[in-house]
């Protein structure tokens, strides 16, 4: 009886090991059937106020509509100002076109020839073009037509060339940050895409040259309404995203407003600037300041008049003049108000600060996370340093170095006085340029949305088993095979007696 039991047990283990072996074989066949048939590509031209950036993204062809698979493979900065400056300087325009052609050629080289015709290409213009449209709609339309004509001439699949709204820019930036962080979906132990436990998202803080955007999830306040909220549905889940864009409060345009305030308070063409370091002096035509729709032209405005700017390196004076361009008084006594009378729910959760925020922190030699006190003390020391010492100690181009005292005070005023970050909630901000070698920019969220790479409904997609799963099955097969062999030997020995 015992020998029959041993033989049966041995047969069971043998059959089990064969089943595991068959499973391993099926997994390998299944895995081979899922081997990537190639890559797919998408191109976005981020036509910003200060420059145009060409992004090339790629993803495995069989993983479309999943998350965490789209990666940035090329980022090319176009030399020269943004497209909103086209038509102001013919020589500069030609240089910009030549540089753009170089970026496109690099993109062509990165995309296989047989895939170029199916590769979508998008152009999204932001605050620089929004300002131009306000100032001269005919000129902005002409620039967009010329860009569309150029993009249609390329071997790619042209999709659109348009000006996006500030709220769209903020929302796309929020999508990018959370997509790269894996906050929408993650793979569970069974290799299925599921919503992460807790489903936390990060807020987005974007600082460009002509506008700045804030976006974060917040519960709707029924007593106030839905002002500033966008309800988005991603992978079957809804998110209430508050987003607002402040036009004319981008880093470059806000600095023009600071210079305009200083110039109008000066009794001569020599203007003392507390945000410029001691020892730095420069001259510029008044048109560089007052030619923007973000600044008010004084009654005696002469575009050709030269203004002589003299740096005084006064940290307190710089903060005071920067704060003066923010309409903070309109929010006094009002709850849930940032500045300029704009409604904003209470700040909550973690935030990702990128673009101009990141570059300001990097210029001050701060890391990705630091206290508000550390930021203030570092900014104060920077603003108190003379021009000669700054040039010796900071490897930053002079055209940017001169303005980082202003930038630091601008970032402080916007985040603390405007958005109402406190010393505690400031610690929830990460100042970052990229995540996993992918730039944090609205362009990725824009492409994902317009190309339907993020579906509105949830999909639990089974993926081929990876090497760790295969190794586990192989180990199980080996163990069962050894056990079956042992029981078979035992049964044979017992049958002899």
- Catalytic-labelled residue, pool 62, 142, 169, 253: 169
**27 and 465 Cβ atoms separated by less than 8 Å:** yes
**Tokens at 376, concatenated:** 């203030």
| Nearest in space to 125 (alpha carbons), one of 183, 95, 165 | 165
Helix (H), strand (E), coil (C) string for 182-244: CCCCEECCCCEEECCCCCCCCEEEEECCCEEEEEEECCCECCCECCCEEEEEECCEEEEEEEE
Catalytic status, residue 398? no
CA distances from 217 to 52, 345, 351, 356 (A): 29, 10, 11, 22
Quick count: other Cβ atoms within 10 Å of Cβ 38? 10
**CA distance linking residue 470 with residue 347, whole number of Å:** 46
CA dist., res. 209 & res. 207, Å (int) = 7
Active-site amino acid positions: 169
């Amino acid at each position: 009886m015992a020998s029959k039991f041993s033989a049966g047990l041995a047969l069971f283990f043998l059959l089990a090991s064969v089943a595991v072996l068959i499973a391993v074989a099926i997994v390998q066949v299944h895995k081979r059937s899922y081997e990537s048939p190639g890559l797919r590509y998408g191109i976005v031209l981020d036509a910003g106020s200060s420059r145009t950036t060409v992004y090339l993204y790629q993803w495995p062809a069989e993983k479309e509509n999943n998350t965490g698979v789209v990666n940035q493979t090329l980022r090319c900065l176009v030399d020269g100002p943004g497209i909103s400056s086209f038509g102001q300087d013919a020589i500069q325009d030609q240089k910009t076109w030549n540089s753009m052609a170089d970026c496109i050629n690099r993109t062509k080289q990165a995309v296989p020839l047989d895939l170029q015709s199916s590769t979508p290409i998008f152009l999204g213009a932001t605050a620089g073009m929004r300002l131009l449209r306000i100032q001269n709609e005919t000129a902005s339309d002409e620039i967009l037509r010329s860009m569309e004509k150029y993009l249609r001439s390329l071997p790619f699949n042209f999709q659109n060339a348009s000006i996006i709204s500030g709220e769209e820019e903020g929302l796309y930036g929020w999508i990018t940050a959370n997509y790269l962080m894996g906050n929408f979906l993650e793979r569970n132990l069974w290799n299925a895409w599921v919503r992460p436990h807790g489903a936390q998202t990060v807020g987005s803080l974007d600082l460009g040259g002509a506008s700045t955007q804030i976006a974060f999830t917040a519960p709707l306040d029924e007593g106030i309404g839905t002002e500033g909220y966008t309800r988005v549905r991603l992978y079957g889940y809804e998110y209430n995203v508050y987003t607002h864009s402040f036009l004319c409060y981008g880093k470059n345009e806000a600095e023009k407003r600071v210079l305009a305030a200083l110039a109008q308070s000066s009794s001569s063409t020599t203007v003392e600037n507390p945000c410029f370091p001691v020892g730095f002096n420069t001259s510029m035509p008044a048109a560089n300041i007052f030619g923007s729709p973000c600044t008010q032209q004084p009654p005696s405005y002469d575009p050709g008049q030269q203004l002589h700017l003299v740096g005084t390196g006064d940290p307190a004076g710089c903060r005071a003049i920067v704060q003066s361009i923010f309409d903070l008084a309109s929010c006094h006594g009002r709850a849930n108000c940032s500045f300029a009378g704009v409604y904003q729910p209470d700040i909550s959760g973690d935030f990702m600060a990128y673009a101009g925020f990141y570059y300001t922190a990097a210029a001050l030699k701060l890391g990705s996370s630091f206290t508000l006190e550390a930021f203030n003390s570092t900014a104060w020391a920077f603003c108190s340093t003379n021009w000669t010492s700054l040039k010796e100690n900071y490897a930053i181009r002079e055209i940017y170095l001169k303005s980082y005292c202003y930038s630091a005070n601008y970032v402080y005023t916007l985040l603390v006085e405007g958005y109402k970050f406190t010393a505690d909630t400031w610690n929830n901000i990460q100042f970052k340029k990229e995540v996993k070698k992918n730039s944090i920019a609205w362009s990725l969220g824009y492409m994902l949305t317009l190309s339907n790479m993020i579906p509105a409904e949830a999909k639990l997609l089974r993926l081929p088993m990876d090497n760790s799963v295969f190794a586990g099955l192989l180990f199980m097969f080996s163990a069962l095979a050894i056990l079956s062999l042992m029981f078979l030997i035992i049964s044979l020995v017992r049958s002899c007696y």
